[in-house]
Amino acid sequence: MKAVQPIRDMEVLDKCLSIAREHDKNRKKGEVCWELLLIVGFNTSLRISDIRRFKVKDLRGKDYAEIRAQKTGKEARILINPHARRVINRLLAGRPGDEYILQSKQRDAATHKVRPITRQRAYQIINAIAKRAGIQDHIGCHTLRKTFGYHYYKMTGDVVSLQRILCHSSRRETLIYIGVIQEEIDESLMKFNLTGRR
């Protein structure tokens, strides 16, 4: 199985957000807001399994996203940066507080209660955006989290804080996860030459 990649290029990331915004202009009532999925994913470092469980009241008007991580069971309290907070508040304006931020049109078969989108639906949305953006890399749900990590590291150079944010056990694990080690290997191999012609 191929490892999914972060979106490294800011222009491509901006293109993905533009595609999501354009899609959302024509979405029908009750359909998932693609821009919201990307904004929360790119800006919080959370996994899709956690993002999809947020309700409107958990994020609208909040400075922090607070959740018990489904995978690890650990409490997570993530600052929502002011830029993302403005967008999130705009996208959630007027929605009932008890709605899931990424609410499915489908109801639970047994209880008939509303439910959040599935991980598979999130994957379909992310891949539809990536395809329209012309992304050739392997993309998946972890792309959002890896994109956060990659750009956090590139902007701050602080792998120790990033390791803590992502709950990784080592700096090496974090650098591998966000694709920096592979990127460095690729760059060094581009300079490598044993053809005898220099």
> Domains in the chain, please, with CATH?
10-191 (1.10.443.10)
Alpha carbon distances (Å) from 126 to 24, 31, 42, 136, 182: 14, 15, 12, 13, 23
Q: Which entry of 71, 77, 113, 198 is annotated as an active-site residue? A: 71
Please give the full DSSP string across 126-172, using - where no structure is assigned: HHHHHHHHT--S---THHHHHHHHHHHHHHH--HHHHHHHHT-S-HH
Q: Is 57 annotated in the active site?
A: no
Residue 113 vs residue 18, higher pLDDT: 18
Q: Is 138 annotated in the active site?
A: no
Q: Is 112 annotated in the active site?
A: no
Q: Is 142 annotated in the active site?
A: yes
Q: Taking the model in full, what pTM does it have?
A: 0.90
Please say if the pLDDT value at position 197 is more than 90.
Answer: no
Kindly state the tokens that stand for 147. 């994109």
26-42 mean pLDDT: 92
Please say if the pLDDT value at position 20 is more than 80.
Answer: yes
Percentage of the chain exceeding pLDDT 70: 98
Amino acid 198: pLDDT? 59
Q: Which entry of 23, 121, 151, 168 is annotated as an active-site residue? A: 168
Q: Is 95 annotated in the active site?
A: no
Q: Which entry of 23, 85, 142, 151 is annotated as an active-site residue? A: 142
Q: Which entry of 47, 85, 121, 146 is annotated as an active-site residue? A: 47
Contact predicate 130/13, CB 8 Å: no
Q: Which entry of 60, 145, 146, 151 is annotated as an active-site residue? A: 145
Mean pLDDT across the chain, nearest whole number? Answer: 93
Amino acid 6: pLDDT? 97
Q: Is 71 annotated in the active site?
A: yes
Q: If we measure between CA atoms, which residue out of 148, 127, 147, 122 comes closest to residue 53?
A: 122
pLDDT level of residue 62 (50, 70, 90 thresholds): very high
pLDDT level of residue 141 (50, 70, 90 thresholds): very high
